[in-house]
Chain A
Amino acid sequence: EDKVVQSPLSLVVHEGDTVTLNCSYEVTNFRSLLWYKQEKKAPTFLFMLTSSGIEKKSGRLSSILDKKELFSILNITATQTGDSAVYLCASISNTGNQFYFGTGTSLTVIP
């Protein structure tokens, strides 16, 4: 059965810390992995990763995919209270139209 597992489930850090969120996947005919940030409402898209070893960056956020070890990490440097959210990763396969979401990592950044 296809699945996506995220760790840790929750994380509390101080402003300015750097965090690394993990996402491992087991998906038949894997195509891409996506990261989302979910605050109080809808998830917002962060990154899509298709190729192994190529880092994607957006400001203080960066992400990379390892297709050999079947995982991805999301890094956030110099965290701010506005980074507090649930971070979701999702995988998609070539053969299906389904997005398999992990249960998310709840990040809390305290001042």
Chain B
Amino acid sequence: NAGVMQNPRHLVRRRGQEARLRCSPMKGHSHVYWYRQLPEEGLKFMVYLQKENIIDESGMPKERFSAEFPKEGPSILRIQQVVRGDSAAYFCASSPNGAYEQYFGPGTRLTVT
């Protein structure tokens, strides 16, 4: 049973470009969470999704950031018009229905130049 997969593992974007981060949850998991980890800071919650639904996006910046978890395929975190301050490690985690135990992916390290 493969764990949570994220790709790409490293992503370099110039200011103003778009970044797309993908997360495939563990088999049988329908809940996905996205987190951002900045240097010297803890993991910060961004958004919680179930299949085709955004349940809680209160941690997501209001502009430029969006997330989806379609019926088929991975969850996508999309950052438009990236800025230097978006440089961070972005982790996704999945959990089975109704469980609080989360399994994390290896993260995507985004660098904005």
Question: How far is it, in angstroms, between the C-alpha of A36 and the C-alpha of B101 when the chains are bound?
Answer: 10
Chain A interface size band reads: 20 to 34
Given A48-B100, A92-B100, answer yes or no on A100-B45 (Cβ-Cβ < 8 Å). Answer: yes
Given A45-B101, A48-B100, answer yes or no on A99-B106 (Cβ-Cβ < 8 Å). Answer: no
Contact B56–A96 (Cβ < 8 Å): yes
Chain B interface size band reads: 20 to 34
Contact B43–A41 (Cβ < 8 Å): no
Contact B105–A97 (Cβ < 8 Å): no
| A interface SS class | strand
Contact B48–A41 (Cβ < 8 Å): no
Contact A103–B58 (Cβ < 8 Å): no
Closest 6 CB pairs of A and B: A42-B104, A101-B43, A103-B42, A101-B42, A97-B56, A97-B48
